[in-house]
Chain A
C-alpha cells in the first residue's frame, strides 16, 4: 500500500501549545502525548478504557485517550495534567489532592485529577449523574463516587480522593471559570 496512506498530518493544541505532527494513523493520543510530546502525566494503565489513568480533557470533556486515535483529534484542544497549573500555582483540584493526601503511589493521580476537573465542570453545567436526586447540591460522597467511577486506584486511596474532590467541589464556584 502507498505509505502516504498510512500516515497523516495532524494539528493539535496541547496545553495551549500548537503542535504539527505527521503520525502513523494507528497512534493513539495516549502514545502521541507520551512518546512524541514527552507529556508523560497521562498513564497507560490498561489500554482499554477501564482504568481511567489516561484521562485527559479533549475540547473540555474528559475522555480516555488510550481509546482515541490522534488523527481523529486533528484540530482539537487537549489539556493534560501538565497543563492544569498556570506555572506558578497549582490547579485547585491538584491543591485539594495534596491537602487531602489523596494518593499513595500516585500512578492513577494524573487521571484522577483530570477526571475530577471534568466532573466538576459537568456538575457546574448542571449535568445529572445516576445518583443525582432532584436539585440537591451535587457534592455528597455518593455523588462524587458515582462521578469518579471511571477512575480506578490500585492503592485504594478512594476515601481521600472523595474528600479531595468534595473540597474542590465546594470551592468550585470561585474558580471554575479559570478551568480549561
Chain B
C-alpha cells in the first residue's frame, strides 16, 4: 500500500487526480476499521493530516466554514454557540478518543445513513465544498447523499469544507441507541428553528437509505406556528400540532429491519424524538434569548 502525504491542498488535489482510486484518510476512524478487518485493501492512501486548512474553521456573518478535518472534540469546544445542533451530535459520536480524531469530512466521505453529522447539517442548512484539479463546486448537503454509503464526490474530488448556516435559533439533536457511548444510532433526529425567517429544518438519520429531510413536516409546522401566531406570542405548541408534525416526520422515513432494530420500532422511536425535540427547541425559543426580540 502506497502512502501519499501531500503537504498542502494543491498537492492533495494533484495526488487525487493522479490516483483516483487512492483512499483519502483524515481521522481514520472509518478507514482504519475497514483496513484492520480486511474489508478494504486500498493500493494507496492519501493522508490529509498535514493540510492545515482542513483543520481550520471560520465564522462569517451568516455561515460557518468548517474545515473537513476539524475533529469533533473541537467542534464541541469551539463552536457550541454557532453550531449547537452539530455540537450536540458530535458529543454522541463514538467515544472521547474517537472524537479526538474523527470529523465531519470523514462522516460525509463515509456517507453512512447512521452518521451523526448528517441530521444537524440537514436541519441547519449546509453546503459541502468539494474540489479537484478541475475546480471547486458547492453541493447542497441534501444532494450530497446519493445512496447507502454513497455520495456525490467524483473520483478525483476531495471535500474541503462545509458551509453551515450559523444558528439563528434553538437547535436540537437526539438519537436512540443501546448505550450512551459507542453506539451506531438506531435512529436519530435533528431539528432547527430559524426565527428570523420563521422556518424550521429537520434531518433524519438511520431511517432511510440516506440521511433525509422531512420537507412536508417542515412546511406543516411552519404554517401551523404562523397561523396560530405562535412565533409572536410564544404560546405553547398544541399537542395536535406536535402529533401531526411527528407523523409527517415518520412519513419521510423509509426504515428497514436490521440487527439494531425493526422498521416498526424505528418509526415509533422517530415519532418520539420528533415530539421531544420540538418540545425542547420550542421551550428554549419561548424561554429567552432567541426571543421575540425579532418579532
In the bound complex, CA of A26 to CA of B47 (Å): 13
Q: Mark A64-78, 1 if CB is under 8 A from B, else 0.
A: 101111011010000
Q: What's the minimum C-beta distance from A89 to chain B, rounded to whole angstroms?
A: 27
Q: Does B33 contact A (CB under 8 A)?
A: yes
Residue of A nearest to B95 (CB): A150
Binds B, one of A35-43, A80-88, A114-122: A114-122
Verify B1–A6 contact, CB threshold 8 A.
yes
Which residues on the B side are within 8 Å of A47 (C-beta)? Answer: 36-37
Which residues on the B side are within 8 Å of A163 (C-beta)? Answer: none
Known: A69-B28, A122-B96. A28 touches B91 (CB 8 A): no
| Centre residue among B5, B25, B28, B37 by max chain A CB count within 10 A | B28
Partner of A150, one of B2, B3, B98: B98
Which residues on the A side are within 8 Å of B28 (C-beta)? Answer: 67-69, 72
In the bound complex, CA of A66 to CA of B180 (Å): 22
| Centre residue among B5, B32, B76 by max chain A CB count within 10 A | B32
Q: Does B49 contact A (CB under 8 A)?
A: yes
In the bound complex, CA of A50 to CA of B179 (Å): 13
| Centre residue among B92, B95, B100 by max chain A CB count within 10 A | B95
In the bound complex, CA of A101 to CA of B63 (Å): 50
Partner of B76, one of A1, A74, A128: A128
Residue of A nearest to B98 (CB): A49
Give the size of the chain B interface in residues (CB under 8 angstroms).
32
Verify B35–A62 contact, CB threshold 8 A.
no
| Centre residue among A48, A67, A147 by max chain B CB count within 10 A | A67
Verify A115–B2 contact, CB threshold 8 A.
no
Verify B101–A67 contact, CB threshold 8 A.
yes
Verify B3–A49 contact, CB threshold 8 A.
no
Interface residues of B in 27-58 (CB under 8 A from A): 28-29, 32-33, 35-37, 43, 45, 47, 49
Verify B2–A1 contact, CB threshold 8 A.
yes
Verify B97–A128 contact, CB threshold 8 A.
no
Partner of B1, one of A26, A118, A130: A26
Verify B96–A150 contact, CB threshold 8 A.
yes
Q: Does B94 contact A (CB under 8 A)?
A: yes
Q: What's the minimum C-beta distance from A63 to chain B, rounded to whole angstroms?
A: 5
Q: Does B236 contact A (CB under 8 A)?
A: no
Q: Mark B47-74, 1 if CB is under 8 A from A, else 0.
A: 1010000000000000000000000010
Interface residues on A, range: 35 or more
Q: Mark A99-121, 1 if CB is under 8 A from B, else 0.
A: 00000000000000001001100
Interface residues of A in 1-52 (CB under 8 A from B): 1, 5-6, 8, 25-26, 28, 47-50, 52
Known: A130-B92, A146-B180. A69 touches B101 (CB 8 A): no
Which residues on the A side are within 8 Å of B180 (C-beta)? Answer: 130, 146, 149
Which residues on the B side are within 8 Å of A74 (C-beta)? Answer: 5
Known: A25-B2, A49-B33. A72 touches B181 (CB 8 A): no
| Centre residue among A5, A64, A147 by max chain B CB count within 10 A | A64
Verify B182–A150 contact, CB threshold 8 A.
yes
Partner of B97, one of A62, A69, A127: A62
Q: Does A55 contact B (CB under 8 A)?
A: yes
Residue of A nearest to B181 (CB): A149
| Centre residue among A25, A71, A72, A122 by max chain B CB count within 10 A | A72
In the bound complex, CA of A62 to CA of B181 (Å): 16
Partner of A26, one of B35, B49, B77, B98: B35
Give 8 pairs: A residue, B residue, CB < 8 Å, sorted on A: A47-B37, A49-B95, A66-B36, A67-B101, A69-B45, A118-B97, A146-B180, A149-B182
**10 smallest beta-carbon distances between A and B, as pairs:** A150-B95, A149-B181, A130-B91, A67-B32, A25-B3, A48-B33, A150-B97, A5-B2, A64-B97, A47-B36
Other 16 A-B pairs with CB < 8 A, given A67-B28, A127-B76, A149-B181: A1-B2, A1-B43, A6-B2, A25-B3, A47-B36, A47-B37, A52-B97, A55-B97, A62-B100, A68-B32, A72-B3, A74-B5, A122-B73, A149-B180, A149-B182, A150-B96
